[in-house]
Amino acid sequence: MDVQKILSAVACIFVLASCGNKKSTSSVFPENGALDSSACLGQAIQNKFIVQWEDGKFTVESAANADEFTKDFVEPNLEQIRYVEFDRHLQIEKTNEVSATAFADSWGQDKISARNVWAQGVYGQNVKVAVVDAFVDHTHPQLAPRIAINTGEIPDNGIDDDGNGVVDDYYGASFVSVPSNNQTPSAHGSHVAGIIAADPRYGTVEGVAPQAQIIPAQFIANDGGGSLGDAVLALQYSASRGAKIINASWGGAPCVASLRNTFQELQNKGILVVVAAGNDGRDIDVYPEFPASFNLSNQITVAASTVSDFMTSWSNSGFGFVHVAAPGERILSTVPGNTTAYMDGTSMAAPFVTGTAALLWSARPQATAQQIRTAILQSVDVSAGHEFKVNTRGRINVERALQALKQLVP
């Protein structure tokens, strides 16, 4: 199925006029027994189901099988349900941990001219950014001051003090439904969080927006696995906590109606979502990767650039669905255990854009997500012979983006 057919089918599902008129169990749960869903069922979790309700909220429900779920859950709640699909396994792309480099530790921050914005007193202050990812080490000295504490919650008392449906989310929340046997925390989420907002007063990493607040929303287990339903719940939680920007440095969802619907709900709430393009070295206009290929108006999809300002060999690309490039090679950031590491990946490029958006929003709090996105896309650096295979042909420049935003929002 080509990209246009996939997106058209998903759009048809989302509007849930159901491409028909009368609501029924088959119209809200079209995958159950549908012949054309077989290509997607390989990753389906046969006893877990993602439910989107008519009020826009999502839940993840369990039953012995799809038929029992339809009879005992969907039928009694049909008028309140908008859409149902199977939950699915996701395996997050691995990023490469690399050895130390001769390049300056903050070469990426310098390349995008972040220092010139900091000099104007713009640090991302008062902007909440959700890291929907793996574990974020809230005890790391460079991350601890930047965690958005949920003051309505009392930590570690086993009670949902603020009544938001999540127990003990004082430092953020975990939506991992199937924990890994691996007891070593994944470094991925902490590395992403540090690129966005590591506090340079307490270590060597300079976050792009070093006064932004991080909301950890974990759905990736220590082995790099997760599920579509867990991702949807983490995204929904991020919105409920007041995130202005969500960083999604992951991909791999093959059948994507619930995920796209979630992105649409985030768009309706004015939230910007920054997505990694992926590390397969392919054109995602032709070979789509989700959520990178959604191309929604509240989304920026990011490719990875090198220190010499070329596209990395392994970065995904696309003149349609990938919007900008950002530093993604040999990036130093925080990892669990009060330490740092260098990593490669579009997972590292995306948080450079997320940090840029946080800087812009702190300078112009009244700006909309679309204005922030427009300012970033209109202000990229494009150098002759260094053009990127992305929609804008360029790599982000936060100083120029701030100038562009000031024209959009005086």
Q: Has 113 been annotated as catalytic?
A: no
Asked if 249 is an active-site residue, the reply is no
DSSP-based three-state secondary structure for 85 = strand
Residue pLDDT, tens place only, 267-301:
999 999 999 999 999 999 999 999 999 999 999 99
Model pLDDT for residues 326-356, shown as the tens digit of each residue: 999 999 999 999 999 999 999 999 999 999 9
How would residue 104 be classed by pLDDT, with cut points 50, 70 and 90? Answer: confident
Highest mean pLDDT among 99-113, 169-183, 263-277: 263-277
- Tell me the CB-side half-sphere exposure of residue 196, using CA atoms within 13 A: 35
Reported as a single tens digit per residue, the pLDDT across 126-152 is 999 999 999 999 999 999 999 999 999
Confidence of residue 180 (pLDDT cuts 50, 70, 90): confident
Output the pLDDT for position 35: 39
pTM of this structure? 0.92
The Cα–Cα gap between 409 and 20 comes to 42
Confidence of residue 385 (pLDDT cuts 50, 70, 90): very high
Structural contact between residues 279 and 346, judged by C-beta atoms closer than 8 angstroms: yes
- Give dist(CA 40, CA 253) in Å, integer: 10
**Options 87, 106, 113, 133, the catalytic residue:** 133
Contact 249, 189 (CB under 8 A): no
Do 404 and 380 contact (CB within 8 A), yes or no? no
- Give the CATH H-level superfamily of domain 96-408: Peptidase S8/S53 domain (3.40.50.200)
Angstrom distances, CA of residue 257 to CA of 16, 177, 213, 248: 11, 20, 30, 17
Q: Catalytic annotation on 62?
A: no
Contact assessment for residue 382 and residue 404, using Cβ atoms and an 8 Å cutoff: no
- Domain residue ranges of the chain, discontinuous segments joined by +: 3-89, 96-408
Predicted confidence (pLDDT) per residue in 183-240, tens digit = 899 999 999 999 999 999 999 999 999 999 999 999 999 988 899 999 999 999 999 9
Per-residue model confidence (pLDDT) at position 19: 40
The pLDDT tens digits of the residues spanning 56-88 come to: 999 999 999 999 999 999 999 999 999 999 998
At residue 236's C-alpha, the angle toward residues 232 and 237, to 5°, is 115
> Of 238, 347, 362, 379, which is the active-site residue?
347
- List CB contacts of 332: < 8 A, sequence separation 6 or more: 105, 106, 204, 205, 340, 341, 342
Give me the catalytic one of 188, 227, 285, 362: 188
